Amino acid sequence: MTAPGAVLETGMRLAPALLSLLALLVACDRPPAADPDYVREIEAARAARHAELTTEDGWLTIVAREPLAPGENTFGSDPSSRIALEADGIPPRAGAFVVREDGAVVLRAEPGAPVTVNGGAPTDAPLVPEGEERADVVTVGRVRLAYFVKDGAPYVRARDPESARLRGFPGLSHFPIDPELRVEGRWEPYDAPRDVEVPSSRGPARTALAPGLVRFTLGGRELSLEPTVESPDDATLFFVFADATSGSESYGGGRFLSVPRPAAGTARVVLDFNLAETPPCSLTPFASCPMALPRNTLPIRVEAGEKAPSHP
């Protein structure tokens, strides 16, 4: 018969070995650690994204976005103004954007109002819209206003570099970086780009060009996404996708991902979902964004990239 003390001594000798074996088995079940260079690459992209959002020209500084009606469109601190502005130093009525019968837009400033065009006194010359060379910038107090054309209609956008939304921005939140969610896909171009109807966060659906499909495997499932392009020769494929996190952890309308278009004769496409971005309309009410097509709603959870923003 083995003495109780011997059994205890044997068990004590075996315990460290069993613990080591258990630790080894647990370690084998863990996913491999992400490559440090890859982690730095993703972190650098996130830092650049934060810097872009928090500049004076970022989405968070927009405080108004209004269509212009024919005739006079007033702006000032009076809440009844067509374009109401809340920043300090703006008079109740600062001026008006006037849409003439010929479609041109001119600026009329109220006498004594702190309104300039490109730093100088306003004139009767038609304003040059955003997107054209030497576009005009209207300033009232610290707020900048720009006239632009969208779908053939005139609009004005106002930016306040000290907006409450920018001051209270808590930063973006992200899923943990996961190298397994950087996947290679196969590019299958269509014979010719197809018109697709893309739903919008504001207003009617819009027509875009879809040049092909990207097929890939994720979570053991064969999946595909259809990108859109600005023009048939666009060098960037733009994806709006939704997944099983949409509406809970991530924004309900989907997220954005852009990748280089494969060169002619090649089919390899890299989809790095760690770079997926929440759309501007999740950050500000003054943006209009494309939403995910039904065919771009993935039946899995994509736990990578940006989460739904939190607002102060």
What's this model's pTM, rounded to 2 decimal places?
0.83
Is 193 a member of any domain?
Answer: yes
What percentage of the chain carries pLDDT values higher than 90?
79
Residues 186 and 159 in one domain: no
Band of pLDDT at residue 14, cut at 50, 70 and 90: very low
3-state secondary structure of 10: helix
Residues 149 and 119 in one domain: yes
* 32-52 pLDDT tens trace: 567 899 999 999 999 999 999
Q: Is 306's pLDDT higher than 90?
A: yes
Which 8-state DSSP code applies to residue 34? P
Whether the Cβ atoms of residue 279 and residue 253 lie closer than 8 Å to each other: yes
* 254-295 pLDDT tens trace: 999 999 999 888 999 999 999 999 999 999 999 989 999 999
How many domains does the chain fold into? Answer: 2
Tell me which residue of 77, 247, 88, 53 sits closest to 165, measured CA to CA. Answer: 53
Residues 130 and 67 in one domain: yes
* 165-213 pLDDT tens trace: 999 999 999 999 999 999 999 999 999 999 999 999 887 888 999 999 9
Q: Could you tell me the strand order of the sheet in which 182-198 lies?
A: 221-225, 206-218, 182-198, 268-272
Residues 72 and 157 in one domain: yes
The pLDDT of residue 286 is: 93
3-state secondary structure of 216: strand
Is 4 a member of any domain?
Answer: no
Is 2 a member of any domain?
Answer: no
Q: Which amino acid is at 250?
A: S
Token pair listed for 169 = 């921005």
Provide the residue range defining the domain that includes 116: 59-167
The pLDDT of residue 23 is: 41
Question: Which CATH number do you get for residue 142?
Answer: 2.60.200.20
Whether the Cβ atoms of residue 54 and residue 172 lie closer than 8 Å to each other: no
Residues 222 and 143 in one domain: no
Is 11 a member of any domain?
Answer: no
Q: Is 135's pLDDT higher than 60?
A: yes
Whether the Cβ atoms of residue 280 and residue 269 lie closer than 8 Å to each other: no
Is 100 a member of any domain?
Answer: yes
Band of pLDDT at residue 310, cut at 50, 70 and 90: confident
